[in-house]
Structure formats: structure tokens, C-alpha cells
Amino acid sequence: MKIAPSMLSANFATLADEIKEIEAAGADYLHIDVMDGTFVPNISFGPMVFGALRPMTNLVFDCHLMVQDPERYVEATAQAGADIITVHYEATKHIHRVIQQIKSLGKKAGVVINPGTPVAALDSVLPEVDLVLIMTVNPGFGGQSFIESTLTKIAKLKALREEHQYHYEIEVDGGVNAETGRKCLDAGADVLVAGSYIFNQTDRKAAIDSLRP
């Protein structure tokens, strides 16, 4: 399994040091939450900010685009050094086209659904994607409580992957701590995103280690 600390909960005044610390502590991905104030009721940062961090770390840049019509920003995200670009099913009229756009830029393509969207909405893109992200909170803010009903989606995605020999990783995002993270792993998750749980602890290595079974 992999751990993806979410930069949203890091100290923005010392970002480079925060990122180096979680890299040394054994993180696998750096989860990068881009918010536009329209698709979600919050604004975070964009490609100019994480692009500046790219030369400072070898962590996989796992970009979660919470922006309306993400096709407008996929190219800038790729150019800023993203490795995985994940777009919301709910944010575009053309999810299949956006996935193709990401792949044509040579990046791994992910799709993400809100707690209110069923796995069935993803039928047509599951054969194409490298990652499926299940929101386990409503997107927009760190530090929210895990929504238990999302666990059944993880199991569904795992069963579909086995049945059809799909290749996507299953990632979960929101309210993940040692307890809820374990539930996600038991249900079949491959990647745990955790923001406040990791960055609110002074010992980030202990926090990351506590998420591993």
C-alpha cells in the first residue's frame, strides 16, 4: 500500500521543508489539492506553486484537481511536473475526453467521485484510468470526518478490477487516520491520502508509519 500526504494541511510558509520531511519519512506520493473556489467552496494553490516544488523532491506528484472544467488546466498541471492528474467526474461534461487528454500528455490519468456519486457513473472510463479516487469526505477542506458509507464503493471498485482485469489503483481521500485508514485498506484501497492526520503531528514519520498495517 502507498501513503500520499496531502500538502493542503502543510505549513504553507515552509512548504519546501515540509515536503522534504515527509519524503524522508517514507511517503510514496505527494497529494496536491488544487481548488478553484467554484467547483468547491475554497481556493488553495495552482501549478505555479507546486511547479516551484518540483525540483526539490522526487515524490510522485499526485494532483487532485477540484476545478470546474478541468480540461482548461490539464496542460498547465502536466507542465508543472504532475505525474498523476485526477479529475472529478462531476466537474466536466466530457470525462472520457479529459482522461484521453491527460494520457496524450504522457501522464497517468485518474478519475474521482464525490460521496454523492455512485461507482456506476464511472463504467465508461474504468478501462482507461490508472487511478480511481474515492472521496471519503465532501471535497473542499481538510480536517473533516470520514463518511463510512463510502467504504462499499472501495469494495465495488476492487471487485470490478478483478472481474475485468482493469489496472487502476484505488485511492481514498478525506478523514483518513489510523482507524479509518485500516477500514479502507480492509475494503481494498491501495493508496491512503492523509492531510491533517499527518501534518498535525510533530512526528510525521510516526504518523505515516501508523497508517501502514
Ligand X SMILES: O=C(CO)[C@H](O)[C@H](O)COP(=O)(O)O
Instruction: Name the strand (E) or helix (H) holding 15.
Output: helix 15-24
What is the DSSP track for 50-69?
HHHHGGG--SEEEEEEE-SS
Residue ranges in 58-77 that form contacts with Fe ion under rule CB under 5 A? 64
Q: Are 189 and 168 in contact (CB under 8 A)?
A: no
Q: Is 88 in the site for Fe ion (CB under 5 A)?
A: no
Residues that bind ligand X (CB under 6 A): 6, 8-9, 31, 33, 64, 66, 137, 139-144, 173-176, 193-197
Instruction: Point out which residues pair with 7 in neighbouring strands.
Output: none
33 noted as active-site residue: yes
* Position of minimal CB gap to ligand X: 195
# chain residues binding Fe ion, by CB under 5 A: 3
x-marked contacts with Fe ion along 15-34 as a string, rule CB under 5 A: ------------------x-
* Position of minimal CB gap to Fe ion: 64
User: Of the listed 33, 36, 62, 130, which one is catalytic?
Assistant: 33
Ramachandran region of residue 188, left (φ > 0), alpha (ψ -120 to 50) or beta?
left
Give the span between the Cα atoms of 44 and 141, in whole angstroms: 9
Give the span between the Cα atoms of 60 and 25, in whole angstroms: 14
Nearer to ligand X, 95 or 192 (CB): 192
173 noted as active-site residue: yes
Count CA atoms within 13 Å of residue 18 on its CB side: 22
Summarize the annotated binding site as residue ranges.
6, 31, 33, 64, 140-143, 173-175, 195-196
> How far apart are CB 99 and ligand X at their closest, in Å?
19
User: Of the listed 36, 62, 130, 173, which one is catalytic?
Assistant: 173
- Beta-carbon contacts of residue 54 (< 8 Å; ≥ 6 apart): 61, 80, 81
Give the span between the Cα atoms of 151 and 75, in whole angstroms: 32
Binds Fe ion (CB under 5 A): choice among 18, 171, 173, 190:
173
Give the span between the Cα atoms of 118 and 120, in whole angstroms: 5
x-marked contacts with Fe ion along 107-126 as a string, rule CB under 5 A: --------------------
Nearer to ligand X, 89 or 166 (CB): 89
> How far apart are CB 92 and ligand X at their closest, in Å?
17
Residues that bind Fe ion (CB under 5 A): 33, 64, 173
Catalytic positions, please? 33, 173
